[in-house]
Every structure is written in structure tokens, then in C-alpha cells.
Chains A and B, each alone.
Chain A
Amino acid sequence: MSTEAVASRSDAAWAERLRVCRERLDCRFPQVSDVFEACLVKAEHVLSVEGVDAYLDCARFLGRMGRGVEPVLVFLAEWPAVAAILGEDALPIIARTVQVLSKSPNGKAIAPFLQTLAPVARRLAAREPMQHYLDLTLELMERTSGSIHGIHKTFASPGLPEFFTHAPTLLNALSIAGLRNWVDYGIRNYHTHPERQRAYFALQSADSRAVLQRERHGTLLVDQERRLDLYLRALWHDSAPLLPYATDVEQVAKPAPYFDSCGIRLPDVLDDARGVSGQQRYQIALAHIAGHRRWSSPLVADNFSPMQRLAIEFLEDSRIDTLILRQYPGLRRTFLALHPKPVEGACDPATQSSLRHRLAMLSRALLDPEHGYHDAVLLDFVGRFARTMASGEASSEEIAQLALSYVARTRRQSDQLATVFFADTEVDYRDDNRHLWRFHERSDDEEMFDEPPRPAASAELERLPPRHYPEWDYHSQSYRPDWVSLYESLHPSGDTAAIDRLLEKHSALARRLQRLLDLLRPQERVRIRYQEDGSELDLDIAIRSLIDFRGGATPDPRINLSHRSNGRNIAVLLLLDLSKSLADRVEVGATGGEQSILELSQEAVSLLAWSIEQLGDPFAIAGFHSDTRHDVRYLHLKGFGEHWGELVKSRLAAMQAGYSTRMGAAMRHAAHYLAARKAEKKLLLILTDGQPADVDVHDERLLVEDARQSVSELDQQGIFTYCISLDRKADEYVSDIFGRRYTVIDRIERLPERLPELFMALTR
């Protein structure tokens, strides 16, 4: 029945209709009377006459169920909205679910079920997924009701009401299949724990949220991180940690990406939108930020009004996008798909502030030559923008000037109005531009530097007299003789069990490494065939050659074979950077667990040591850190003569992070040990997470240059140096030091598997 029809009905007729319907409802709760008329108006609006009857019948049933007034009220209020989405003939399947619930001990769940039915229907949008949802609901009920202590179906499902309450939130994040997985996990793990089950379905327990995260639809940043990191490097010659921020599933306006000194912040998940995949949306957001990082420079915010700032931001964003598209024209289609297309005239400047709308239109026009707008001022500014950009990259300053004159030209009284026209004005791949503004008014930013307390030089650390090493001064291109004092000692010991636990954790990885190791393991005697000169005749080949010869063909002269025993003759020293940054924590895996780099290094080093022990290569481990040139520490963790065993493990377990990284001196000292080995090949592996640095050196280059110099000294001694860096910013200096002999491990959590693999690749 149409609105007009209802409205035009005479009051008397409506009163009669109301009475008839109230009678049909036949329900005496006084609360119902308060709302009935409003509900009926709504119902008449969307339901057919039969539909209204069925609605009232169902409500009557609910009122007589003996579950109080709550279910009736909720149903009366919600059903019209649900019917509008699913069609009124969906009522029987809903009613059936209610019946099943009411016959079980779960009557209390009926109200929450009905309460969230409308948002759930809105999310599911069709009958078929709704049927899945209802089935899932009943399954959850079946499997969680009353099986506690074996008494059957007497207890209500503790999780069910919570589930209904949170169903809309869940469905915002999950597909129906994802929801099924999430529910299933909860049932399987908590069907006998009422408390935990309730917490799980109320989204209060950690694993509940973790599983939700895992099952979310859309593209997760954690899954794209490496790819995006590569993308940033390859296309933008830039690199920064990519950090997710949580996009609350219930939030409508999602916060914009941004970047600061810690890294680039992106939403933790992005759905496909406007025909653009989540992955592409990440790429575009990242491209836009990379563009700002390359081309934008900050402006003083205090000089501008908020409206001027808004205009500057819009135009600066357009400048960045223009520059991006110059370099990567292939991205235009994606940009156009993601940029909203505000409708000219959609906003009434008499009643609403239209500045945003004007700017968004301008922004669209600057991106899209086929914008089709007619506004003369807009067209004028499109031309002025093009002229500004024609000369080259322009600058944030120039754009600010243009933006100011735009604001001046188009100023309207209504721009001050509190109601801002928002539709189609949000460009969601763009960041929030916080980097663009510098504020004069600064809050006092006091920084506290509390150094960790120095571990008291423990008495058990027997100190040898220091050794002195030179250091390279690149300014004068000469050595400073005996510049550094290096103290060596045995590393203190800790709890062996800790290391065994770490190894235990990686037993699957160890099995995989074992297979690789088997391939590398030297055979006692290796036969080398096809030798012209050798120790024995290779009969097979000799006969073949003879046949060739008799047949008149030129015989292969390589008819001998020789033996080589033990192909591997490599001494390896692993040098660990034990500086303070090792204590930093990194996220591990998708579940958001954390581990310190130190712990990961312990795991990795243990696996490496275990691997090398299998191969039988002579192997030593040492760590170093420094606290000025007067105090470089070199700590022995494993000597060449020692086996990988309790003693070494206990030292590894006691590893600690502290102080700085004076790499050159430590490398020279390591070389001193390697040089004494009688091996054909000598390999120095350096595991570090940062750039060489020390507290008494302020010129950043100095220790980098010194390390580079020591690498070439080692080269002269026939020692092959190789660096495994955990520093994302290593590109800036690591090749200066190590030439091509380095690897940067971007995902530190993979260090335990990467380190042994790298070693094997290096010595294959």
C-alpha cells in the first residue's frame, strides 16, 4: 500500500483498521500498545494485506510463547525492515527458527535473534545466504546446548545470545563461509566451557578475534606486506616499515592512511571496491604516499585558515597524482576508478557548505580529462593547474598559492555553515596529509633518554689484556693506529633448556633442513669422471672411446677418472652483532604475536650451528658490541674446537643485547682467528641489524667506511665476508661495506629458516 493511500485514508478508517489489527494481534502487554501504531504504519508501507496478517499472526504467537514482552516488541519493530530486504515470504523460515528456539532451552536468545535480524539481512541481502545463516544458527544451538556434564539439552547455549548480538559485526567482516568457520572454531574448542564459550562468541577472547581476523574477507595487509614492500622498492625506490592500523568493523568512516617517522600506516584490511581489488587499492594508496614522500614539502599550517588548508591538501594531492601518472601512466584507470565522481549541482550551496564538493569536483577534473563539468571557474583552474605543472614538478608552495587563489575566487558565505556536503568527496586512497603541515605552536617535546643500566662487569668474566686494532679514517685516507681496544672473553652461560625449547619449536624446519644437508654432506671419496688425466681408467668410457676409434670416429680422450676426498674444506666464523637494537621486538605471523630480534637470532643461530655440525665444517661463533673505541667486547660463544652441545647452548641462551656496533674492529679480530685456520676457504658471516655506529662517533660515514676497509683487508687475507642484515634501511650502506655480498632479510620472523638456507647456498 502506497504512502499516499495510507495518508489519504480518513482518520476514522485508520482508527478502524488499527482496532482490527490490534485485535488480531490479541496481546495484552501494555508496552505493545505504546508502539503498535507506529509499527503498523511501517508494516502497511512495505507489506501486502496478507503480509500484514501474517505479521500479526506471527507476533501473536510470540506474545503467547511465555517469554515476556521482549520478543513481540522486537519483532513488531524489526520485521517490516527485514521484509523490505528479503521479501515478506521469508517470514516462514524466520518463524520456524523462532519455534525451534522456543522449544529448546534457548528462549532467552529469541529477542537478540530478532533484534539483529534487520542488520544481518542488510548484510546478507538475499534469501539464500539468510537460509545459511539460519542453518548455522540452529547448528550452533544444537551443538552448544545442554551437553554440559552429560545432561542432555537442559542448559541453554551460553554462546548463542552473544552470537546473535554480535552477528551484524561479524557479518560486516566475514562472508557467510568465514562466519561458519569462525563459529565452528568456537564450538569445537569451547562447547564444554560455558564461560569461555561466552567470551568467544562475545568477541572478547584473543583467539576469537584472531580467528575473526583470519577469516575476514578482503585483502589483509599482513598477507600483502612483502609484495607491497617490494613494490615500494621497485617502483618508488623507497622503503619504510608498513604498519597496519585496525579498521574497526563497526566503523563507517575508516581512518585514512598516513605516514610518520615510524613508517607507513595502512588499513589492516581492504575490501575490493569499485572494481578494484584490495591488493590494487593498497598499491595505489602506497603510490600516493610514496609520491608525497618524494615530492611534497611541509608548509606552515598557522599561516592558513582551515578552509585554505583543505584546498591546499586537495590540490597538492592532485599534483602528486599527476606526477605519479606521468611516471606510471598505466595506473590511470585504477586512479579513475577509485576517485569519486561528484555530481555537478548535487550540493545546494544555499543550505550547505559546498567547499568540499567544489574541491572534489576540481580534483576529479584534474585527474580525468573527460570530467564533463561546466563550471567556468573550475575549467579556468583546470587550465591554471595544467600551466603550473607544465614547467616540471612544481612544488607544494606553488600549489598552495594556486589553492589560495581558488578559495578566494570561489568563496561563499555558506562555506562557513556547519552542515558540510560530504557525498562523493572522500578520496579514500589518499592519506591524511599530516606530513604537509608544520605547526609553530609546539608542545614541549621533551625526550627522555634513559640508557639501560650497564651490566656490572661480572667477576666471572675473566678479562684478558686488550688487543689493539687500527681504524680507518676515510677523511685522511689513513689508519689511526691502535685506535680501538678490544677485550675478549668467554660469553657467560645461561639455561640450556631455553635453547632446546627453541629448537623443539622448529623441529619441522629442522627436518626440512636435514634433507638439504644430506645433499651437501661430503661423501668420503668422490669419483670425478671424464678426466683426461686421472688415477684410474674409467672402463665404460674407455670401451666407448675404443669403439669410436675403431669405427673411424674421433674418440673422447677423457677416459680416466680420479678421486677427490671430502669436497668441503671450509672454516666458518659467525659474528653476531649484540648491540642494543637486538632487543627490539617484531611482530611474528598474522596472529600478532611478538618476539624480540634477539630471540629470533638465538633460534636462527642454533639451527645454523646444528646444521653446520652435521656438515662437519669447522665453525666458531662470537658476538660483539662496543661502548666507545676504548671498550669493544668480543665474546666467544663457540670455539672452532668445540662441538655444538650443552656448553655452547648455555652460552647462546645467555645472549643479551646492549651498547653499540663497532663492526670493523670486531671483524678484524674475527679475521685473526680465521686466518689461523688451515682451510682452503674461509667464510666470515656477519649477522647484524643495523649500521656500524658507536656513541663516540658522530660522523655516520666513519664506521661504515672503516667496516668497508676491514672487508677489503679480509679479502686480501683470503677471507670471504658475507653480511646478513636485518635492517630494512640497510640498502643505504650495506653494499658500501660488503659490495654484493649481503642479503637483507626483510621479514625478520623468517630468519630461523633463512640463515641456514643462506649458509648452504653460499657453500654449495
Chain B
Amino acid sequence: MDNGEERAVTDRTQFEVREKPFYQPQRNEVALYEAAYAARLPVMIKGPTGCGKSRFVEYMAWKLGKPLITVACNEDMTASDLVGRYLLEANGTRWLDGPLTTAARIGAICYLDEIVEARQDTTVVIHPLTDHRRTLPIDKKGELIHAHADFQLVISYNPGYQSLLKDLKQSTKQRFTAFEFDYPDAALEAAILVEESGIDAHSAERLVNIGAAARRLKGHGLDEGISTRLLVYAATLIERGVAPADACRMALVRPITDDRDIRDTLDHAIDAIFA
């Protein structure tokens, strides 16, 4: 893979997932992912914010024993932020690989989180890595990288964004196999809260009921309901001794809405559920 140029060999182990992450499977996604990885197919994970997409990828990297490089995408990101760039130094310039290039070289799973946040001219650089060529041209260096045999590309994306301009290009979507995630069902979600925060099962169940109430308001003034992540936050606060009603208002309601009617409705749900 190395084109001979002098370059510090990247330490592969630093990207390894050392401890087993807790992941509660929702269906057969673990087996399906393994199959996709075995064929080195690119994977897209769709689903609302905070439903366990990142946790899943982390868990799969651990299970497969592959390094994981995660990139949180944002609007200001350019292609160079992914591929790499020359740095100016006192005695000349030095090339620095971007995370995508590093992953391709060392055979990591490269996880581009919330990819729609990146501009579309940025996302196109992943195209050649997603077809049978599995290559990454670095124009500035005149180098063509052939991806390591272990390399895999994973993107996550939240189709709930209600903006036409923040949707993935059809030509990008067509390159991925896809998982559709959603918030776990009540029993699983409660189990996750218990595991993640140490809260008791009964309180976990109540939190999940509040989550369910909020999710029913989607499309009626809420773009998205309360995420599993926020429920974990609330559970954590309660576990640390915060009164449940306060924890819920702070972790579940205030973050997601400025709409007074919705806020009052959810506050009422909290009071009704936590006697």
C-alpha cells in the first residue's frame, strides 16, 4: 500500500475498540452487519438521532476486531479534512493523511457520522471507495491508494431532517446497503437505561413511557421525539439523586422544544407518570 515515500507508520492499535461496548441488539442487525462486512459492502445506517447508530458501529468494530475511525461530519468540512493535506513547516511541507485515507491504509472501519451535515461536494470523495475499485485517489499527491483488505466504509444519516437541501444525493445513496434503525421498543429501551445508568427497572419503564408520549407528537410540532440518548441522560441524573420530575424536564423536555403547548403537555406527562 505504501508508495515508498517516507512516512511514519500509523499505529493501528490506537484505533482499536478495547473494551466491549454495551450494545442491545434490536433485531438481527448484528448478523446482517457481519454478512455485509464479510463482503466488504459499504453500509449506511439510517435512523433518528440518539437511537444507537454510533453505539452499534462501535460494537461491531469490537466484535469484528477491527480498528474504528469515526468522523463527525459538519458543514465546514472539506474534502481535505477527509483525505489529508500538506502542512507547512519550517523546513518545507509535510503531508498529513486525513482520517479516510488512514482508514483505507490501515484497514479500519471508517464511520462517517451524520454525513448529510457535510456539503455534497465533500461527500463525493467517498464514491471511488464504495465501488468494486475500492480506491482513493489523492490528487494533490498524485497518489492512488488501494484500500486495505479490512477497510470498510459506514455512514450514518438521519432521514428525519426536514430539508430538501440536506438530503443525500441519490447517486450517493445508491452505493450503500442500508439499515433502518429506530428507537428500541419499550422493553429493550428500558433494559438499555438500566444497563447504561444503573437506574432501577421501574423508573426505567416510566422514563420509556415519557419517551413514547413525546414520540407520538412527531409531526405535530416535534420534528423528532425524545431520543434514547436523552433518556439515558435523564436516568443518569435520577441515579445521581436528582428528583425525577426535574431530571426529566431538564434532560427530556427543555432540550427538544420551545413550543409552549408541547412543553406543557410533556411536563404534564411527567407529572402523571411519576406520581
Name A residues whose Cβ lies closer than 8 Å to a Cβ of B: 226-227, 229-231, 233-235, 237, 283, 327-332, 530-532, 549, 552, 554-555, 557-558, 570, 681, 683, 715-716, 718, 720, 722, 731, 734-735, 739-744, 746, 761-764
Task: Tell me which of B78, B87, B269 contacts A531 (CB under 8 A).
Answer: B78
B275, A329: Cβ atoms under 8 Å? yes
- Determine whether B167 belongs to the interface, using a CB cutoff of 8 Å to chain A: yes
Which chain B residues in 254-275 approach chain A with CB under 8 Å? 261-262, 264-266, 268-275
Cross-chain contact of B261 among A226, A532, A742 (Cβ < 8 A): A226
18 contacts between A and B (CB under 8 A): A226-B261, A227-B264, A234-B216, A234-B265, A235-B268, A235-B269, A283-B268, A332-B275, A557-B88, A558-B78, A740-B160, A740-B162, A744-B220, A761-B163, A762-B164, A763-B164, A763-B165, A764-B165
A552 partner, pick from B76, B90, B167, B170, beta carbons under 8 A: B90
Number of A-B contacts defined by CB within 8 Å? 96
Contact yes or no, B88 A549, CB < 8 A: yes
By size class, the interface of chain B is 35 or more
Q: Which residues of A contact B163 (CB under 8 A)?
A: 761-764
A237 to B218 alpha-carbon distance, docked (Å): 12
| A716 in contact with B170 (CB, 8 Å) | yes
Interface pair A231/B265, CB less than 8 Å apart: yes
* A570-B165 Cα distance, complex, nearest whole Å: 9
B78 contacts across to A, CB distance below 8 A: 531-532, 558
| Contact present for A237 and B85 (CB under 8 Å) | no
Shortest C-beta distance, A535 to chain B (Å), equals 14
Which B residues between 158 and 217 are near A, CB-CB below 8 angstroms? Answer: 159-160, 162-165, 167, 170, 209, 213-214, 216-217
> Shortest CB–CB separation between residue A677 and chain B, in angstroms?
14
B interface residue numbers (CB < 8 A to A): 76, 78, 80, 85-88, 90, 159-160, 162-165, 167, 170, 209, 213-214, 216-217, 219-221, 261-262, 264-266, 268-275
In the complex, the answer to whether B266 meets A234 with C-beta atoms within 8 Å is yes
CA distance A744 to B221 in the complex (A): 9
Report the minimum CB–CB distance from B226 to chain A (whole Å). Answer: 11
Besides A718-B170, A722-B162, 14 new A-B residue pairs in contact (Cβ under 8 A), listed by A number: A230-B265, A233-B220, A235-B272, A237-B216, A329-B275, A330-B273, A532-B85, A558-B78, A683-B164, A716-B170, A720-B167, A761-B162, A762-B164, A763-B164
Cα–Cα, bound, A731→B167 (Å): 23
* Inter-chain contacts of B90 with A (CB < 8 A): 552
**B186 to A: closest C-beta gap in Å:** 13
B159 in contact with A739 (CB, 8 Å): yes
Please tell me if the beta carbons of B274 and A762 are within 8 angstroms of each other in the complex: no
Contact of A233 among B86, B216, B275 (CB under 8 A): B216
User: CA A722 – CA B165 in complex, angstroms?
Assistant: 13
Which residue of chain B has its CB nearest to the CB of A762?
Answer: B164
Q: How far is the CA of A164 from the CA of B27 in the complex (A)?
A: 73
B164 touches A720 (CB 8 A): yes
Contact assessment for A681 and B272 in the assembled complex, using a CB-CB cutoff below 8 Å = no
Contact check, A555 vs B88: say whether CB atoms are below 8 A apart: yes
Which single residue of chain A is at the shortest CB-CB distance from B171? A718
CB distance from A628 to the nearest CB of B (A): 31
In the bound complex, do residue B274 and residue A330 qualify as a contact, i.e. CB atoms below 8 Å apart? Answer: yes
Residues of A contacting B221 in the complex (Cβ-Cβ under 8 angstroms): 230
**Complex Cα spacing A742 to B220, Å:** 10
